[in-house]
Structure 1
Amino acid sequence: MAEPPLVSFLIAGAQKGGTTALFDYLTDYPDIALPAEKELHVFDDETQDWSAPDYRAYHARFPDPAGRPCGEATPIYSYWPNSLERICAYNPAMKLILVLRDPVQRAWSHWRMEYARGVETHPFEWCVREGRQRLFAAEPWGHHREFSYVERGFYAEQVERLLGLFPREQLLFLTSDELRSDPGSALGRVRTFLGLPKAPTPAAREVHVGRQMDYPSQLTPGVVAHLRQVYAADAERLEALTGIRFG
């Protein structure tokens, strides 16, 4: 008999949206069970046999759940193909949190991270224009873990996939601005969503601030205008689905 699901909530996106800060805040609450580290990368693991997945190693990352909500944060889940379907198969009652950031600023922050890591060598403007063609040579087709600067910002597409799998009441949408400017309110919403009582707000913090170095690109008005146009239809759809509007 398969082991019953243990994990009851996920911070499933978006990368560079504030998921590390949210995870870090939640570690201050003793009534929430979290693993020792962020990003377990279970449901985007293409080496797993998804016809008969074995979750014992996953569950072992939560050594003492003691009846508390168990959750983890892997922000690629909302973007990576089949991840959300695998999550639904694991636990149809899963609660999912998305922390969304202006997709233009998210793409810029993502590029800066990959450039600082040495993964990316091309300038930002090339990456969000010609460089998008690289994803058509990737596996799985059209997706890439590092070079998906533009693609991860199509939030409405991700929300529509979520709504096709989970009831609306199992989804919570926050913005990075909300988490940064009013963490007490954002964390209060998270605790209510998880069925937990009110609790004192942990001390405000900045987590994963971008590395300071000489980058070969700037976020120019022309690139911003190009990306706003790319995201225009998705932004309208996102507002209709969630009430959140960027740009």
Structure 2
Amino acid sequence: MSNATHLFGIGAAKAGTSWLFKFLESHPEVASPAVKELHYFDDADTDTPERALIKRNEEIQQDIVTLELRRLISAEGKKRKLASRIERLKQVSALLELGYSPEAYSEYQQAEAARTNAKLTADITPAYALLSKATLKMMAGLGQTTKFIYILRDPVERLWSNIRMVADARAKSNAEMAKISNRIADSILSGEGHPSFLRSDYAGTLDRLFAAVPSADRLVLFFERLFDQATIETLCRFLMIAPMPAKTHRPVHAGATFPLDDTRRAGLSQLLAPQYAAVEARFGALPDRWQQNMTKV
């Protein structure tokens, strides 16, 4: 069994986690995850921690069916690649079918590392940012070395991107997407709330993360600086993998574009003012984009 490092990427949602996944997926010292977001611990703080596993397994089973159909009509070389991916998804499904067991999760990740003699395995699931201090502490103790990365994006920009993603999934046209986006923003501004707003609590996540995970095993990055070569080198040193050039100019899963009007921007800036203040108090000077939106508070 391998003693590879395991990484939890806990968000934030719409803050570069897909880019991080793609970067790690292409690194020769990383066991390429079968899926980006495993969602294994989503419900660990509830009385039914297996609920998230059941839901995720249903999604993976559907992916397997889809890939099996594609394999039937693919060329021989493509068939082999699809067969390999299907087999790995079946292994993930087998893990989920065992029920909630952090020990089984850890064993699966170590087996993944041993499969390719990798130094690192990864589970990039932004939903983990909502977990309690106790659960984060438990996760930090799963392996010989377990590390956490949390990427922060300008609060207004992150929330608006998250809102647009939700709206885009529901809408049948750009015009409808714009209407839904504005409706969600108005709901948040009126105090009704929305799941996307829960991911905006940087202060709460940072408090829990810093209390649960030793400083040597956590890294907080800014999305606005994520694509600088210096940041990439810092990332690789933290993960104890060899530095590698990254594709820094190609968006991954970029959301549909639709401008946020000045009135709603000002309202969201005001609502998120405590997040700007908390991050500034903890880390000092903020990226320019953050400071631009802070001036609107």
Q: Please classify the TM superposition score into its range, dividing by the shorter chain length.
A: 0.7 to 0.9
Verify the 8 A CA contact 2:8 2:146 in the aligned structure 1: yes
Unaligned 5+ segments in structure 1 are 134-146
User: How far apart are residue 243 of structure 1 and its match?
Assistant: 3.2
Deviates more, 1:219-228 or 1:51-60: 51-60
Alpha-carbon distance in structure 2 between the residues aligned to 1:244 and 1:53:
40
Residue matched to 1:234: 275
Verify the 8 A CA contact 2:159 2:197 in the aligned structure 1: yes
What residue identity is the alignment partner of 1:54? A
Residue matched to 1:129: 189
Alpha-carbon distance in structure 2 between the residues aligned to 1:112 and 1:61:
35
Verify the 8 A CA contact 1:104 1:224 in the aligned structure 2: yes
User: Number of paired residues?
Assistant: 226
Alpha-carbon distance in structure 1 between the residues aligned to 2:33 and 2:126:
15
**Corresponding residue SS for 2:34:** coil
The answer on 1:173 being equivalent to 2:233 is no
What residue identity is the alignment partner of 2:255? G
TM-score by length of 1: 0.77
Verify the 8 A CA contact 1:156 1:234 in the aligned structure 2: yes
What residue identity is the alignment partner of 1:75? P
Alpha-carbon distance in structure 2 between the residues aligned to 1:17 and 1:94:
21
What residue identity is the alignment partner of 1:39? E
The answer on 1:161 being equivalent to 2:159 is no
What residue identity is the alignment partner of 2:16? G
Residue matched to 2:29: 31
CA RMSD of aligned residues (A): 3.0
What residue identity is the alignment partner of 1:174? L
Q: Which structure has the larger Rg?
A: 2
Q: What percent identity do the matched residue pairs reach?
A: 29
**Corresponding residue SS for 1:206:** coil
The answer on 1:20 being equivalent to 2:18 is yes
User: How far apart are residue 104 of structure 1 and its match?
Assistant: 0.8
**Corresponding residue SS for 1:70:** strand
Alpha-carbon distance in structure 1 between the residues aligned to 2:108 and 2:148:
17
What residue identity is the alignment partner of 1:78? A
Alpha-carbon distance in structure 2 between the residues aligned to 1:219 and 1:93:
42
Residue matched to 1:99: 151
TM-score by length of 2: 0.65
Instruction: Tell me which protein shows more helix as a share of its residues.
Output: 2
Mark the CA change 1:132 to 1:94 in structure 2 (over 3 Å): closer, same or farther: farther
User: How far apart are residue 40 of structure 1 and its match?
Assistant: 1.0
The answer on 1:117 being equivalent to 2:173 is no
The answer on 1:55 being equivalent to 2:127 is no
Unaligned 5+ segments in structure 2 are 44-48, 54-98, 172-176
Mark the CA change 1:56 to 1:197 in structure 2 (over 3 Å): closer, same or farther: closer
